[in-house]
Structure 1
Amino acid sequence: MLLNYQLKPSTRDQSPDKKQVIFLIHGLFGSLSNLSGLGKELQSDYDVILVDVRNHGQSERNSSMSYPQMANDIFELADHLQIEQFSILGHSMGGKIAMSCALAQPQRIQRLIVADIAPTSHADKHSDVFAGLKAVKASNVQSRTAADKVLADYVETPEIRQFLLKSYQRTAEGFQFVYDLENLYNNYASIIDWPEQSNTYTSPTLFIKGELSDYIEEASQPAIVALFPNAKLKVINATGHWLHAEKPKTFNRLAINFFAQ
């Protein structure tokens, strides 16, 4: 499928054959706006492409969300835009999509950043979130303030509720989620899984971990090294899973420096 996207052209004069392109891929319950701050900073040197992955934002809905399929969505968009090689950054689920791209067609991916996720299966961390979002949908409340009151019975942290409700938006039919909640719920087992891989990606790779997050643990290291032998790890102190939102200056600096190497 052809994903919804935003292309932010480089603000620096470059010859067409020397332009470098970076794809930015959001995580579960997100949208292309999640990484727009980083995209704006990268624009000084790169063409930046922000995407809505399937069942999110304005992209098409689909009953299947395997990582090979979602990686193919990225390549289909790149082909549509006539982009042969590009770098890629993904957060959480988007990080697994980014890794899947690098392993599927390593010759096309120049550099890879994976934000707070490992190439492993992960435990269910979203049962309360799904229950809360379903309660919001069932309540049909017509403001984010009212939605937040409903969601607070299921999700304690205000910052997480704020993130989840960014996609609860006014439409012609009233307030609705712009991600497909039913398809996300039905595909959650695939989203937290990680398919067996036979390839490796040997180009420069950076994993960025939030210190307080448990999505990348010491036990993840063998899997990372096996698939990404040239990977490096940076840790952002006092930061959880949404590290790009909690400490954007630090996160953006790490990404910009890595892509510039």
Structure 2
Amino acid sequence: MPQLEVDGAALTYDDEGPRDGDGVPLVFIHGWTANRHRWDHQTEHFARKRRVVRLDLRGHGESEGSGRRTVAELAADVLAVLDHLELDRFVLVGHSMGGMIAQTLTLAHPERVERLVLVNSISRMSYSRGRGLLMAVSTLVPFKLFVAANIQRAFAPGYPREKIREYVRASADTPQEVVMTCYGAMRSFDVLDRLGEISTPTLLVHGYHDVQLPVSQMLRMAKAYPDAVVRIVDAGHELPVEKPEELTAVLDRFVTDQP
């Protein structure tokens, strides 16, 4: 797989599909402690007809480097890869933290984003007093327990336990410094008051059972978007792997203008 050196880190990415395919390229950005393979189902589907780019964020998956301390810094990494590939215009698809990165890129470069898709993502992290205390305390437990607790609760009830354990192991392999700095970057992320600046057609897809980033927070975000379509799916926070076929179908309709 190709890599690009960006500010001291080797970022791994995939660039698949026909260069002269249908529509502008699709760019997929994964979430916290995940990797580009969260998008395997969507990549296999879309790369048959159009160019698809996905990458492992700094310190995640097969990319090297330490964590970034802000979402804007993570967005700069993604933009460096897109500039290297000479992608002037694209559809951005981001899951969770990847959706925060996608919003940041769209605000900074609206002329380059044809459409924006946010999967289980929000524009401002907010907590009730009880949940905020729980999140603060969780950072004090051993690292692997912290990761396991967060990943296990990301899936809807009934998702196979053996698959959840696989994702927990993969997330725990992410360097601790990367996990914690990205965690801090998400907690301080806030562009809610700027969403009125985004005129890009936007799709918000969310899992009904998401307890990490609840539907109520997404709906507050939806009200601020001038041009947004909302889809609620019977899934948890890890929609790309919990309901891959359903998510792919929703994306396909949105990017091809089908009703």
Structure showing greater radius of gyration is 1
1:131 to 1:160, Cα distance in 2 relative to 1, 3 A: farther
1:74 Cα deviation after fit: 1.4
- Number of equivalences: 232
User: CA separation in 2, counterparts of 1:66 and 1:191?
Assistant: 8
Relative to 1, partners in 2 of residues 1:25 and 1:133: Cα closer, same or farther, differing over 3 Å?
same
User: 2:188 — aligned with what?
Assistant: 193
Q: Is the 8 A contact 1:65 1:191 kept in 2?
A: no
Cα pair 2:222 2:230 within 8 Å, conserved: no
Q: Match for 2:84: what amino acid? A: H
Match of 1:9 in 2: 17
Distance 1:9 1:212, change over 3 A: same
Q: Distance in 2 between matches of 1:216 and 1:24?
A: 22
Map 1:132-151; keep pairs closer than 5 Å. 133-134=143-144
Query: 5+ residue gaps in structure 1?
Result: 138-150, 169-176
- Using the size of structure 2 for normalisation, the TM-score is 0.78
Determine the structure 2 residue equivalent to 1:145: none
Farther-moved stretch of structure 1 (59-68 vs 101-110): 59-68
Q: Is the counterpart of residue 203 in structure 1 residue 209 in structure 2?
A: no
Counterpart pick for 2:25 among 16, 21, 26: 21
How much has 1:128 moved relative to structure 2? 5.4
* CA distance, structure 1, for counterparts of residue 120 and residue 63 of structure 2: 24
Task: Give matches, 1:30-49, under 5 Å.
Answer: 30-49=34-53
SS state at 2:230 partner: strand
RMSD: 2.9
**Which of 229, 232, 235 does residue 232 from structure 2 map onto?**
235
Check the 8 A contact 2:34/2:171 in 1, yes or no: yes
Q: CA deviation at 1:39?
A: 0.6
Distance 2:164 2:188 in 1: 22
**Percent identity of equivalent pairs:** 23
Deviation at 1:134, TM superposition (A): 3.1
**Does residue 1:224 correspond to 2:222, yes or no?**
yes
Unaligned stretches of 5+ residues in structure 2: 1-5, 156-160
1:1-261 to 2 correspondences below 5 Å: 1=6, 3-10=11-18, 14=20, 20-123=24-127, 131=141, 133-134=143-144, 158=161, 159-166=163-170, 177=173, 179-196=174-191, 198=194, 200-214=197-211, 215-226=213-224, 228-237=225-234, 239-261=235-257
Provide, for residues 122-151 of structure 1, a one-character-per-residue CA deviation record: whole Å limited to 9, x for no partner. 4468775994653699xxxxxxxxxxxxx6
1:69-119, Cα deviation, whole Å (9 max, x unpaired): 111111111110111111111111111111111111111011111001111
Shift of 1:220: 4.3
For residues 181 and 122 of structure 1, the distance between their equivalents in structure 2, rounded to whole angstroms, comes to 23
TM-score by length of structure 1 reads 0.77
Deviation of 1:249 after TM superposition, in Å, equals 1.0
Give the superposition deviation at 1:222.
4.1
The amino acid that maps onto 1:244 is P
